[in-house]
Structure formats: structure tokens, C-alpha cells
Amino acid sequence: MKKQALLVIADGMGDLPNSELNGQTPLEFAHTPSLAMLASQGMFGNIHPVKPGVPVGTDVGHLAIFGYDPYEVYTGRGPIEAYGAGIDMEPGDIAFRGNFATVDDEFTVLDRRAERINVGTEALAAAIDGVVLSDGTLVIARALSAHRVAVVLRGKGLSAAITTTDPGTAKEGHKIVEPAALDASAEAQHTAELVWELTEKIYPILSLHPVNQTRLINRQVPANMILLRGVGEEIKAPKISSRYGIKGACIAGDRTVLGIARMAGLDVFHKPEFTAGFDTDFMAKAELALSKLSEGYDWVVLHVKAPDLAGHDNLPQVKVEMAEKLDQMVGYMADKLDLDQCYISYTSDHSTPCSRRDHSGDPVPTFVAGGDVRRQELSGFGERYVVHGCLTNMTGQDFFLTQMDLLGVVPKLGA
Ligand SMILES: [Zn+2]
């Protein structure tokens, strides 16, 4: 029978010894019997998300977890946000992430988030969606959370080698930047002109929009501009389905992760109770993962954002609590799965040490368990417990290949 695999990703779980936890990391301090039991039935170690000593973002960390070389395929945040917003990019498209912002009629930025507008942004995006520029290029726009929006240009001869219109954070009082070509190509020059044309079109459309008329009556600033940044092209690397002939599913609350999963060719599943916060419904995620496995998905990825937030907020006790909830979730799934039929793996996209309140380049505890996986002795789970494991010093990409090889889908190199 064809085997399946489940991968649990604990976002930012890797950490450093913490004085509030008797010099242990949150994962070492936490009571995690299920993670320890599973790790002892397989291979484990501290793996480097991308490269030793390189802190990575959630986007880049997940590209590696999904088997890509981020140095090769990462072109910018725009495409990831576009996928997260549900836009299917086509070859030749370029994508931006944007902010709804407030400008005056000279295009001076007055508020780069339009007072963090979070009502009416779907209608504002819909007013820009479908705009056609002078050369026939189509504009696709979708609202993201709060003041954020994804914008895709679909047309002939577009290039991502341009500067964008956003003057940057804390640059209120500065004018919108007119885009410029970053190389000598005619495509870059043309695209820079198109993005300025779009910017000039956005202002009257949004200024006259009923959402903004209502905002003016309510003495709120109008969201009359979209500041564009993070331009990039569709990733050129093949999707997981065509590379390995497998069907993948990703269960997550975080839009960035959902975007990268779609880009990688996984089907994505999101529910309102997956909040990407401390209050996310761990057990609802577990149930959904089990049901996707029973539907026949080959590789099911379950992502939990909460440990990363605890790291950014320097809340080691909360991170411990999240590790324990995650352990219960993993234990619940392990009870219902047969390790001879379904591998269970665990990793993180990066470390987010509480003491640092940001991502670090430290490697992350990882394991893959299964009936026929090589084993080593293990006395607990966490950074110090797994360091002697055979996965130590692998990369996220290596770990992806290891899982795919267990599934028997990696082609043989050589005769
Ligand atoms: Zn992350």
C-alpha cells in the first residue's frame, strides 16, 4: 500500500536557553511526551532552515520546507501575498504587496496605512480589480488583512526589475516614488511606466469611491492610494505535484504560509477558527489533517503560528504552553495513525528566541518517525536532546527530500 506522510510545522519554535525557564529552552522545559515518543521512533536532529547562521523569514523558511532553494526561487514578497489572497499567478505575471494609504493631490503620503483601515477594503480592491492599462495589461487586486492588498499585473513584456512606489515606513510627508527600471531592458522601462500609470489611475477611482465618501463623513482619512512594494515574478520552479507526482495539503491559519503552500502546488485548507494566534483551535486542525489523510492526500502539512508570536513577544511561559498544546495535538493524531502506513514529521521554519524577540539563525529541532525509519537513543525532546541525532546539520531542503524519499517518489540519480 502507498504510504502517506504528515508534517507538523511549529512556526518559530526553536529557541535559546532562557533564565525564566531554569536555563532551558521552551521546548526543553515543556512537557512533550508525544513529541519525545515519536522522535525516538525515527531520525531526529537540529536542522538549519536554509544555511547555518542565516536568520530567515517565515516565507523563505517555508520555501525550504517545501523543497525549494530560496536563493534560486525567492523573487519578492508580492507573489506570496498574491497566492495568499487567492490569485493564481500565471507565467509572465508580476505581483506586489500593497498598503491602502492616504495621499494628498500632490501624492504626498499623509498616512501610509489610512488609519489602519479594516472596513471596506474588499470594495476598494474590487474597484481596482479589472482595471486595464493603456497597453492592455490587466490589473488584479484582492484585499488582504487590515490595510494590506495584493496587486498583480497580467500582460505582455512585464518585468519585476523595477523600483516600487512605496517611499517606506515612517516616510509620511514624503511623496510617492515614481518607479524606475533596475536594468537596461525595454520591459523594465515599460513596466515602470505602467506602474506609474496605475498609480495615477488609482487615485481618482479610490477618491470617488463610496467607501471613502463615508469615511470623510465619519471624519476618517480616505484610503485613496495603494502604495506598492515587494515586486516579484511567479516562482519558476515546478510545483510539488509535477515534480514528485504527489498530492499535498496544507492546513494553516497564517496567510503567508497558505500563499507559499499554494505556490508550491499544495491544496490549502483554512477555517475561521484557525486564527494564526494563541487562541487557534489545535484540535480542529488535527481533525482536518486526519480527514485529509483519509481522503488520500500523500503529504499533509499542518502549520501552527503561535510559538513564533510568543517568541516575538518575549513570552517564554506562553511558548511553553503552546509547545504543550502542540504536543497534545500531535499525540491525538499519532493515536489515530499507523506509523507503518503514515510517517509523522515535525520541524520549524526558523528559531524565534524569546530573548531576541526576532528570528535567529539557530537550527531547529526536527524529527521524522515511522515504522521503517532508522532509530537512535533519545531521552527527551528539545534543542539539547536531539543534537546527537543524524539529521543535525541537514537543511530544510534536505529534510524535505528525506521525507519524499521515504514516500519513494525521489528519482534515482544515476543508473
Ligand atoms: Zn515563521
- Measure 196 CA to ligand 1 centroid, in angstroms: 33
Q: Encode the chain (415 residues) as per-residue pLDDT tens digits.
A: 789 999 999 999 999 999 999 999 999 999 999 999 999 999 999 999 999 999 999 999 999 999 999 998 888 889 989 988 889 889 899 999 999 999 999 999 999 999 999 899 999 999 999 999 999 999 999 998 889 999 999 999 999 999 999 998 777 899 999 999 999 999 999 999 999 999 999 999 999 999 999 999 999 999 999 999 999 998 777 899 899 999 999 999 988 899 999 989 999 999 989 988 999 999 999 999 999 999 999 999 999 999 999 999 999 999 999 999 999 999 999 999 999 999 999 999 999 999 999 999 999 999 999 999 999 999 999 999 999 999 999 999 999 999 999 999 999 999 8
The C-alpha cell 505556490 sits at 263
Asked if 300 and 248 touch (Cβ cutoff 8 Å), the reply is yes
Sequence spans of domains, the chain: 4-74+237-406, 79-233
How far is ligand 1, taken at its centre, from the CA of residue 241, in Å? 24
E strand or H helix at 59: helix 58-65
**DSSP codes of every residue in 229-286:** EEEEEPP-SPPHHHHH---EEEE-S-HHHHHHHHHTT-EEE--TT--SSTT--HHHHH
3-state secondary structure of 201: helix
Q: What angle do CA 182, 178, 89 make, to 5 degrees?
A: 65
Cβ neighbourhood burial of 317 (10 Å; 0-12, 13-18, 19+): middle
Q: How far is the CA of 81 from the centre of ligand 1 (A)?
A: 15
User: pLDDT at position 327, please?
Assistant: 98
Nearest-angstrom CA–CA distance, 412 and 3: 19
What pLDDT is recorded for position 286? Answer: 98
Per-residue model confidence (pLDDT) at position 275: 87
DSSP string for 77-101? HHHHHHHHTT----TT-EEEEEEEE
CA-to-CA distance for 162 and 299, rounded, in angstroms? 37
For the chain, the farthest-separated pair of C-alpha atoms sits apart, in whole angstroms, at: 73
What are residue 39's DSSP bridge partners?
none
Nearest 5°: the CA angle 249, 296, 368 is 65
Instruction: Please give the distance, rounded to the nearest whole angstrom, from the Cα atom of residue 61 to the centre of ligand 1.
Output: 7
- The Å distance, Cα 57 to ligand 1 centre, comes to 6
Q: What is the pLDDT of residue 75?
A: 82
Question: What's the CA gap between 323 and 330, in Å, rounded?
Answer: 10
Q: Are 310 and 18 in contact (CB under 8 A)?
A: no
Closest alpha carbon to 111 in 227, 215, 209: 227
How far apart are alpha carbons 257 and 62 in whole angstroms? 7
Q: What is the C-alpha separation between 246 and 298, in angstroms, rounded?
A: 6
SS (H, E, C) 279-333: CCCHHHHHHHHHHHHHCCCCEEEEEECHHHHHHHCCCHHHHHHHHHHHHHHHHHH
Give the pLDDT of residue 255: 85
| CA 116 to ligand 1 centroid distance, Å | 23
Provide the whole-model pTM.
0.87
CA of 359 relative to ligand 1 center, distance in Å: 8
pLDDT at 414: 95
User: Which residues neighbour 296 within 8 Å (Cβ) at sequence distance 6 or greater?
Assistant: 247
Question: Chain-centre distance of CA 185, in angstroms?
Answer: 31
139 forms beta bridges with: 153
Report the half-sphere exposure of 294 (CA within 13 A, side-chain side).
9
Q: In angstroms, how far is the first alpha carbon of the chain from the final one?
A: 26
- 258 Cα to the center of ligand 1, angstroms: 12
Task: Name the CA radius of gyration of the chain, rounded.
Answer: 23
* 3-class DSSP assignment, residue 139: strand
Distance 118 CA to ligand 1 centre (A): 24
Please state at what angle helix 316-336 crosses helix 282-294, rounded to 10 degrees.
Answer: 30
Q: Output the CA 286–ligand 1 centroid distance in Å.
A: 20
* CATH fold for domain 4-74+237-406: Alkaline Phosphatase, subunit A (3.40.720)
Cα(283) to ligand 1 centroid in Å equals 21
Residue 217 CA to ligand 1 centre (angstroms): 40
Give the burial class of 24: count Cβ atoms within 10 A of its Cβ; 0-12 exposed, 13-18 middle, 19 or more buried.
buried
Strand order in the sheet with 299-304: 42-47, 364-369, 342-347, 4-10, 299-304, 248-251, 267-269
Query: How far, rounded to the nearest angstrom, does the alpha carbon of residue 250 sit from its chain's CA centroid?
Result: 11
